[in-house]
């Protein structure tokens, strides 16, 4: 797990992070925002649009190996309809990253042409990577630099401490990723971030976390989840999420004295199995219906 997931975001930290990103913005042409494909709402930053103002943005739905394929496609379509280019990627295996550079070139073709028209023979495009902790920024930078055999260059005197990866002869990437904070105002966001491991679940009520997940399964269960607990889709729809948690505990023989069900153990089991991928690929957040088809 990345260390920065333990950062507590106080207003001072947010101001510093924002300043750092804004300082970087002056040096780049495109912002690449990395989002977790399983929780696109909770893993995006609420203030990014305002921070980057009118810089073009490319979105990467990372960890798509763990998300529901159809849901990821719906998200890509939804972003597309809202005028934002998005690509599904898996920075662990590198899947989807071959589309990254062509997408950037396409996005910036006007700028390229304008620079050429001004007499700049070999215009260079520069990008910056931003995202909340644990979303895969370092993994992305490592992958893309290996795939493209990028060279790291230190340019003392230009901006202290700023290193660049030369990805190709016309593309450079600022090597310090912009770490952003998630949304805090919604309890669901905290639950979803904990669920996917972006924040520690130790700090949250594990049963509440499990109930939130079970609610998502009641709406849209994967076949793997149903099979794992020998459940039928119709049977779980009419239960409360707590009753479903109890049912799972009961099925696994998790009883405490007096015949009561050990719902805390059941909740922990649900997490362990989810994180081991035993419930299949799950996306916990979907785009608004009418725009996501």
C-beta of residue 228 within 8 angstroms of C-beta of residue 236: no
Binding part of the chain for ligand G4P, among 11-19, 137-145, 166-174, 243-251 by CB under 6 A, reads 137-145
139 binds ligand G4P (CB under 6 A): yes
Counting contacts by CB under 6 A, is residue 1 touching ligand G4P? yes
Number of H helices, E strands in the chain: 12, 10
138 is a contact residue toward ligand G4P (CB under 6 A): yes
Nearer to ligand G4P, 123 or 280 (CB): 280
- For 86: left if phi > 0, alpha if psi spans -120 to 50, otherwise beta; the answer is beta
Q: For ligand G4P, how many residues bind (rule: CB under 6 A)? A: 18
Cβ closer to ligand G4P: 57 or 63?
63
Residues within window 39-78 making contact with ligand G4P, judged by CB under 6 A:
62-63, 65-66
Q: How far apart are CA 131 and CA 137, in angstroms?
A: 7
Considering beta carbons, is residue 2 or 166 the nearer one to ligand G4P?
Answer: 2
* Residue 2 or 115 having the CB closest to ligand G4P: 2
Dist. CA 262–CA 175, nearest whole Å: 48
CB 28 within 8 A of CB 174: yes
Q: Quick check: 92 binds ligand G4P (CB under 6 A)?
A: yes
> Interface residues with ligand G4P (CB under 6 A)?
1-2, 4, 62-63, 65-66, 90-92, 131, 133-139
């Amino acid at each position: 797990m990345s260390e920065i997931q333990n950062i507590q975001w106080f207003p001072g930290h947010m101001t510093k992070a924002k300043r750092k990103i804004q300082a970087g913005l002056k040096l780049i042409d495109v912002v690449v925002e990395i989002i977790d494909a399983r929780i696109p709402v909770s893993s995006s930053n609420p203030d990014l649009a305002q921070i980057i103002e009118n810089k073009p943005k490319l979105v990467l739905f990372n960890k798509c190996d763990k998300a529901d394929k159809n849901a990821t496609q719906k998200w890509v379509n939804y972003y597309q309809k809202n005028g934002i280019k998005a690509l599904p990627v898996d920075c662990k295996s590198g899947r989807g990253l071959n589309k990254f550079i062509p997408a950037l070139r396409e996005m910036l073709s006007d700028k390229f042409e304008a620079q050429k028209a001004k007499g700049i023979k070999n215009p260079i495009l520069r990008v910056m990577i931003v995202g909340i902790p644990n979303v895969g920024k370092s993994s992305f930078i490592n992958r893309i630099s290996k795939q493209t055999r990028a060279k790291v260059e230190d340019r003392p005197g230009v901006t202290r401490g700023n290193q660049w990866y030369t990805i190709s002869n016309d593309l450079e990437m600022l090597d310090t990723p912009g770490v952003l904070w998630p949304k805090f105002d919604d309890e669901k966001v905290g639950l979803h971030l904990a669920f996917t491991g972006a924040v520690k679940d130790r700090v949250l009520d594990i049963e509440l976390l499990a109930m939130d997940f079970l609610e998502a399964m009641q709406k849209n269960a994967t076949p793997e989840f149903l099979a794992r607990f020998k459940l039928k889709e119709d049977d779980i729809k009419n239960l409360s999420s707590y009753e479903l948690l109890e049912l799972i505990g009961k099925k696994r023989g998790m009883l405490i004295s007096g015949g009561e069900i050990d719902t805390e153990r059941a909740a922990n089991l649900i997490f362990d199995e989810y994180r081991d991928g035993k419930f299949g690929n799950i996306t916990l957040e979907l785009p608004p219906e009418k725009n996501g088809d």
